[in-house]
Chain A
Amino acid sequence: MTPQSNRQLFTITVYSENCVGLLNQVSVIFTRRCLNIEDVSASMSSVPDVHKLTITTWADRPTMEKVVKQIEKRIDVLKVFLFTDDDIVYQEIALYKVPTHRLLEEQNLESIIRHHGARILEMTPEYTVLEKAGHPWETEALFDRLRRYDIKQFVRSGRVCVTKSPIEYIDIFLQEQNRRKDEPTD
């Protein structure tokens, strides 16, 4: 086994066809290696008809490189990229549901919202929903700050990310695949 100290947080992005069972095909590859998925998000991508999964997991690099190849081997998967936090701009979103009367006790509500860059999405006599987008430690910081107001619900989305690279590798990949369509086959 690889020592725990070599583990780091990886973000992988999976570009695929949008088909039933795709997430299962990908997740079983993590399951086989007993890798826990920290968070996952699925959405359409910038390319029409191409779906994108963003998954984070703690692992060592050699393992993740094998995982990436095994995911890429799946027929419905177009391309997989492996990143560490340095390679990407990433963000997640958090929602906090807090009893309104408790929030109103706070003299510094305005400063909390300003300081954390949060905003109020909905306010009723019973509850208030705040939203904060940011890195995990930022959404956690607001969670800690609001904890004393008896947070009723807290939810954090999976990570979304874009690369810092000026080159859009998925576009290049898709162009190459389209060229292949016109090549003669055996």
Chain B
Amino acid sequence: MNELTEISTENPVSGADALLRAIIAEGVDTVFGYPGGQILPVYDALYDYTDSLRHILVRHEQGAIHAAEGYARATGRVGVVIVTSGPGAANVITGLSDAMMDSTPLVVITGQVGAQYLGSDAFQETDVIGITQPITKWSLQVRHAEDINNAVARAFFIARSGRPGPVVLDIARDAQIGQVQTPYSKISYIRSYNPNPRINEECLHSAAKLINEAARPLILAGQGVTISGAEKALCDFAEKASIPVASTLLGLSAMPSGHPLYKGMLGMHGNIGPNYNTNRADLIIGIGMRFDDRVTGVASKYAPDAKIVHIDIDSSEFDKVVASTVAVHGDAVRVLEGLLPLIEPASDRHEWLASFDACRNVEVREVYSRELHREGDEPMTMGEVVAAVSSATGHDAIAVTDVGQNQMMSARYFQFKNPRSFISSGGLGTMGFGLPAAIGAKIGRTDRTVVCFVGDGGFQMTVQELGTIMEYGIAVKIVIMNNNFLGNVRQWQNLFYHRRFSQTPLLNPDFRTLASAYGIPAEDVKTRTELPGAIDRMLSDSGAYILNVDIDPADMVFPMTPAGKPVDTIMLSPDKLFDSSML
């Protein structure tokens, strides 16, 4: 169906048909979904659009929404999900909440029972709007076919603009079946919603003044930099003013790992330099980030000597956790471009910049040595596996992670050359995210190597998506970092719960046999000497590939700022705290 007659009173189409045309008109060529009773009219219409709209049939709706998240994060485009009512809709709730926390643009279409059945506890009816309102940017129930065009137009505009987020359209069966007589048109204006706030010049000048006066400024770059496409503007800004840059978990890859001003990751398991120096800085410049509690530690002891410049497109983030001295409301790229001419080149920040190197030396000595440089028969660590894979890809792959130790180790030891190269569930911390998100990322970026780092626990939460990989031949490289434990919980039990490993050991299946059932080549990697060859075989294979790597269950992620402590309280090992005399 390449030639479509425009919808008109003479040429009406069904609501389902109009919905798919509208999605295509928004530039969508891939959707993730799972059919069911109350979305059948849409799936019937889809049968006629298979050449312009690729539908990825997942194995569980949770897989669909995480795949759409991975797709959106890898490409910057809106991820689209189609599921049925009731259980189908309920199964995307985790993903919606995840996308809301991580500002991921999604449009999720849920089928809904016929309008006359609404509210009657009909078969497969659930209150999708009531459930999703708190965890979506916007949600709307569509009961009439003639409302579909406007609903879709608003949905895409809202999902992708401003601070992106997930949108739900709950489409009653009547609306799918009814007639639409008007053609689709996009929108770029909603009276009650202003996604492009005008930047306040006074705030911009106040921010510039604070930056120019600062002796020890530190930039905290969040995912807003990536979403805004401000990667170059960030580098220009940091370079002109000689300001060190630290990244949040989701901000990773916005600045290349090798950039001389890039000083590492913030947060509970971040690098020593950025965390320790946060509490030595006299100015914190947060860009497209939200001072999450994993970044700030205990907020009352956060950056006590610093003024705060907070740049964000979401004004509800200002003063939510940390009080800002100057808040600049706007799109990161525009704010940074506006600041650039107001910033004076600084030449006297050598000592401040060098202080990060001193911290790094401590980290190399105290942590990297233990994590990255084991030898011989010692059991493998997650860090050395991540570092080896990163190196084998030329530091140019997309790393998708699950949640837990595998995530923190990937964040710490994977290196980046290009933006949108780190995809992880940050805010919600959703185990089971990794595998389907990697599928979505690879579908969106077939030109790039996509590596999924996942633990043995999280892998099994969405392991059914191996079926999706098999069906569509998706060349995802999966590295199971297998310690037969829920490693991160074990770490907390080890450190804070008297080594009472309550419900964290896992009896796992033979993952290689499981992979073979799906026709996916897999290897067990039991020793250090096998690792490089296995990685090479995985990366040189043209399709999906699984490495099941034996990891030391005693391996723990350090450095670590314990929950409720200031960011500069940093554990280097279970019994050693960082202190400034080590510098």
Is the pairing of A and B real?
yes
A interface residues with partner B (beta carbon < 8 Å): 16-17, 20-21, 24-25, 28, 32, 62, 65-66, 69-70, 72-73, 75-78, 174, 177-178, 180-181, 185-186
Are A69 and B192 neighbours in the complex by a CB distance under 8 Å?
no
Given contacts A21-B133, A25-B133, A32-B134, A75 and B188 within 8 Å (CB-CB): no
CA distance A70 to B189 in the complex (A): 21
CA distance A66 to B290 in the complex (A): 14
Judge whether B316 is part of the interface by a CB distance below 8 angstroms: yes
Are A28 and B133 neighbours in the complex by a CB distance under 8 Å?
yes
Partner among A20, A24, A75, A186 whose Cβ is within 8 Å of the Cβ of B193: A75
- Residue numbers in A under 8 Å from B137 (CB-CB): 75
Given contacts A75-B137, A181-B189, A24 and B130 within 8 Å (CB-CB): yes
Given contacts A20-B141, A32-B134, A185 and B189 within 8 Å (CB-CB): yes
CA distance A32 to B134 in the complex (A): 9
Partner among A16, A66, A75, A186 whose Cβ is within 8 Å of the Cβ of B190: A75
Judge whether B201 is part of the interface by a CB distance below 8 angstroms: no
Shortest Cβ gap from A17 to chain B (Å): 6
Are A65 and B192 neighbours in the complex by a CB distance under 8 Å?
no
CA distance A70 to B320 in the complex (A): 10
Are A66 and B319 neighbours in the complex by a CB distance under 8 Å?
yes
Are A180 and B194 neighbours in the complex by a CB distance under 8 Å?
yes
CA distance A77 to B316 in the complex (A): 14
- Residue numbers in B under 8 Å from A174 (CB-CB): 191
Point out which of B139, B191, B318 has the most chain A C-beta atoms below 10 A from its C-beta: B191
Shortest Cβ gap from B154 to chain A (Å): 8
- Residue numbers in B under 8 Å from A17 (CB-CB): 191-192
Partner among A28, A73, A177 whose Cβ is within 8 Å of the Cβ of B191: A177
Known: A62-B319, A66-B319, A180-B194. 13 other contacts (CB 8 A): A17-B191, A20-B129, A21-B129, A21-B133, A28-B134, A65-B319, A69-B320, A70-B316, A178-B191, A180-B189, A181-B189, A185-B189, A186-B196
- Residue numbers in B under 8 Å from A178 (CB-CB): 191
Partner among B188, B192, B196 whose Cβ is within 8 Å of the Cβ of A77: B192
Judge whether B544 is part of the interface by a CB distance below 8 angstroms: no
Shortest Cβ gap from A171 to chain B (Å): 14
Shortest Cβ gap from A181 to chain B (Å): 5
CA distance A174 to B133 in the complex (A): 25
Are A75 and B138 neighbours in the complex by a CB distance under 8 Å?
yes
Chain B contributes a number of interface residues (CB within 8 A of A) equal to 23
CA distance A174 to B191 in the complex (A): 8
- Residue numbers in B under 8 Å from A24 (CB-CB): 130, 133
Contacting residues of chain B (312-367) with chain A, CB-CB under 8 angstroms: 314-316, 318-320
CA distance A73 to B191 in the complex (A): 13
- The digit string for B294-325, where 1 denotes a CB below 8 A from any CB of A, is 00000000000000000000111011100000
Give the A-B pair count, Cβ closer than 8 A. 54
Top 4 A-B residue pairs of the complex, sorted by shortest distance between their CB atoms: A69-B316, A75-B138, A185-B188, A28-B134
Judge whether B158 is part of the interface by a CB distance below 8 angstroms: yes
Are B196 and A75 neighbours in the complex by a CB distance under 8 Å?
no
Shortest Cβ gap from A83 to chain B (Å): 19
Are B192 and A66 neighbours in the complex by a CB distance under 8 Å?
no
Are B130 and A16 neighbours in the complex by a CB distance under 8 Å?
no
Partner among A32, A62, A78 whose Cβ is within 8 Å of the Cβ of B192: A78
- Using CB atoms, name the residue of chain B closest to A32: B134
Q: DSSP class of A's interface residues: helix, strand, loop or mixed? A: helix
- Residue numbers in A under 8 Å from B189 (CB-CB): 180-181, 185
Are B191 and A69 neighbours in the complex by a CB distance under 8 Å?
no
- The digit string for B90-109, where 1 denotes a CB below 8 A from any CB of A, is 00000000000000000000
Shortest Cβ gap from A91 to chain B (Å): 28
- The digit string for B176-213, where 1 denotes a CB below 8 A from any CB of A, is 00000000000011111110100000000000000000
Shortest Cβ gap from A153 to chain B (Å): 29
A and B contact pairs by CB, cutoff 8 A, 13 listed: A17-B191, A20-B129, A20-B141, A25-B133, A62-B319, A66-B316, A66-B320, A69-B318, A75-B192, A77-B192, A177-B191, A180-B189, A185-B196
Partner among B139, B188, B192, B315 whose Cβ is within 8 Å of the Cβ of A16: B192
- Using CB atoms, name the residue of chain B closest to A178: B191
Shortest Cβ gap from B452 to chain A (Å): 33
Are A73 and B194 neighbours in the complex by a CB distance under 8 Å?
no
CA distance A181 to B196 in the complex (A): 12
- Residue numbers in B under 8 Å from A181 (CB-CB): 189, 191
- Using CB atoms, name the residue of chain A closest to B334: A186
- Residue numbers in A under 8 Å from B188 (CB-CB): 185
Shortest Cβ gap from B300 to chain A (Å): 12
- Residue numbers in A under 8 Å from B194 (CB-CB): 177, 180
- Residue numbers in A under 8 Å from B130 (CB-CB): 21, 24
- Using CB atoms, name the residue of chain A closest to B129: A21
- Residue numbers in A under 8 Å from B196 (CB-CB): 185-186
- Residue numbers in B under 8 Å from A77 (CB-CB): 192
CA distance A32 to B158 in the complex (A): 23
- Residue numbers in B under 8 Å from A25 (CB-CB): 133-134
Shortest Cβ gap from B164 to chain A (Å): 13
- Residue numbers in A under 8 Å from B320 (CB-CB): 66, 69
CA distance A59 to B384 in the complex (A): 50
Shortest Cβ gap from A28 to chain B (Å): 4
CA distance A77 to B196 in the complex (A): 16
Partner among A20, A73, A75 whose Cβ is within 8 Å of the Cβ of B314: A73
Are B191 and A78 neighbours in the complex by a CB distance under 8 Å?
yes
- Residue numbers in B under 8 Å from A69 (CB-CB): 315-316, 318, 320
CA distance A186 to B192 in the complex (A): 18
- Residue numbers in B under 8 Å from A76 (CB-CB): 138, 192
CA distance A72 to B193 in the complex (A): 9
- Residue numbers in B under 8 Å from A70 (CB-CB): 316
- Residue numbers in B under 8 Å from A66 (CB-CB): 316, 319-320
- Using CB atoms, name the residue of chain A closest to B318: A69
- Residue numbers in B under 8 Å from A75 (CB-CB): 137-138, 158, 190, 192-193
- Using CB atoms, name the residue of chain A closest to B133: A25
- Using CB atoms, name the residue of chain B closest to A20: B141
Shortest Cβ gap from B188 to chain A (Å): 4
CA distance A24 to B141 in the complex (A): 14
- Using CB atoms, name the residue of chain A closest to B134: A28
- Using CB atoms, name the residue of chain B closest to A182: B189
CA distance A78 to B193 in the complex (A): 7
Shortest Cβ gap from A32 to chain B (Å): 7
CA distance A25 to B139 in the complex (A): 10
CA distance A16 to B316 in the complex (A): 17
CA distance A76 to B318 in the complex (A): 21
CA distance A186 to B229 in the complex (A): 14
Shortest Cβ gap from B571 to chain A (Å): 28
